[in-house]
Copies of this chain bind each other. A is one copy, B any other.
Amino acid sequence: MTIENTALLTDQYELTMVSAALRHPMAHRPCVFEVFARRLPDGRRYGVVAGTGRILDELSRFHFGEDELAVVSRFLDDETVAWLRDYRFSGDIDGYREGELYFPGSPILTVRASFAEGVLLETLVLSILNHDSAVASAAARMVSAAAGRPIIEMGSRRTHERAAVASARSAYIAGLAATSNLEAARTYGVPSAGTAAHAFTLGFSGPQGPYEKAAFAAQIEALGIGTTLLVDTYDISQGVRNAIEVAGPDLGGVRIDSGDLGVLARQVREQLDSLGARDTKIVVSGDLDEYAIASLRAEPVDTYGVGTSLVTGSGAPTAGMIYKLVEVDGLPVAKRSSHKESKGGAKTAARLARPSGTIVEEVLYRPTDGPPSANGFSLRPLQIPLIRDGDPVADLPTLADARDHLADALISLPWEGLGLSHGDPAVPTRYVLG
């Protein structure tokens, strides 16, 4: 639950641009800004949109009160300060829903507003989309690699304390089962999970040395027999023995957080089975990423815990999205300098699929033209209305909708698109821009 003003989560130059624009009609000309990524992170086959819901929330708190005006009046003229005092975004926003796949060039968000109103949103919109989509994109690969086994997100300690909350949200969209983060449980209703760390077992040490069984007994006393006991503080075999001695064969689970997880999972499974604990689950954690998860597919692992790699986007901590002015007064505009050219003019997009549901390409077209011929493929427009006249539209997709949508979207990828190996985007982007 967060009540803070968001207006200063903004680069200073957005405001100096407004100041310079306000002296001219240009400030009030109707403009179109577009968010897209020129490319996916190195070798990735698809990206996953996340953050749109948070944009709508933070936009509702994006206004300049007296505190904020005091800060910006240090470098802005009185006229601009007065304009900011009255500022409320009054434009329209369309975009890809959360949980939608995206590819290079996909118009993930389209903002229609006056220049001054639209330019102000750039920093906040990009911060949210770049962070949340980076996490969701990495997380979706982990979910694919886990092939149906649940993953718990436990990366809060490896990222900024508020980014952790957004990461848990993105991970949930991507299909992770639960998060360790309690603020994500409160704010977004993400299921939370967690039992104990090594410190708990160590805390039961005494002058006679370790006393692992006392720790296990205390945990079971508090959390019940269905809890998961962490068995690798001292010796894993002894830990498993202690766990079953204390809990009996109906123990919910054991967790292994270090060592060669594949080898250990097999040994622990055998040991649990031999002790009659055939239904006791094995949770593994410790520097897992999508590749490590995939490598454990043949091992008797029931649940994965992921941390660092998830909250840092597994090598791609930011999605590289940009916010570009593409149209002014109905006319396309575009930067022309070296190797950063982009295609001017408002665009929207549709995805073409075979009758089997497998997608074949992303087509970008002018909203004024309508979608191109589908040539026997099915065609699904990708942008939905998000904001009209400054207000969120009714019945926007929920977090659960986003999660369901992504699960379906991943099924629609060509099979090689779901692989972890490096390659080109799973489908090409085609521009039909007349």
User: Taking beta carbons and an 8 Å cutoff, which residues of A are in contact with B?
Assistant: 1-4, 6, 8-17, 19-24, 26, 29, 31, 33, 58, 67-68, 71-72, 75, 77, 115, 119, 122-124, 126-128, 130-132, 154, 156-166, 180-183, 185-186, 192-200, 202-207, 214, 218-219, 221-223, 232-236, 258-260, 308, 311-312, 317-318, 320, 323-325, 328-329, 331, 333-340
Contact = CB atoms under 8 A, between A and B. Distances in A.
Contacts of A186: 8, 67-68, 71
How many identical chains are in the complex?
2
Given A180-B13, A199-B17, A161 B124 contact: yes
Most buried by B among A3, A72, A194, A308: A194
A157 B328 contact: no
Contacts of A161: 6, 9, 58, 123-124, 127-128, 131
B154 A131 contact: no
What 4 pairs between A and B have smallest CB-CB spacing? A12-B194, A13-B194, A160-B163, A126-B157
A335 B11 contact: no
Contact of A337 (B2, B192, B232): B232
Given A12-B192, A127-B159, 17 more contacts: A8-B183, A9-B164, A9-B165, A10-B182, A12-B181, A14-B197, A17-B200, A20-B196, A71-B185, A77-B222, A123-B161, A160-B163, A199-B325, A203-B328, A206-B329, A233-B335, A234-B336
Nearest to A230: B13
Contacts of A130: 157-159
A259 B160 contact: no
A266 to B, nearest CB: 16
A205 B8 CA distance: 29
B162 A11 contact: no
Contact of A159 (B16, B163, B182, B202): B163
B318 A312 contact: yes
A337 B258 CA distance: 7
Contact of A1 (B58, B67, B328, B339): B67
Given A4-B4, A115-B203, A193 B12 contact: yes
Contacts of A77: 222
B15 A182 contact: yes
Given A71-B186, A218-B26, A312-B317, A196 B162 contact: no
A162 to B, nearest CB: 4
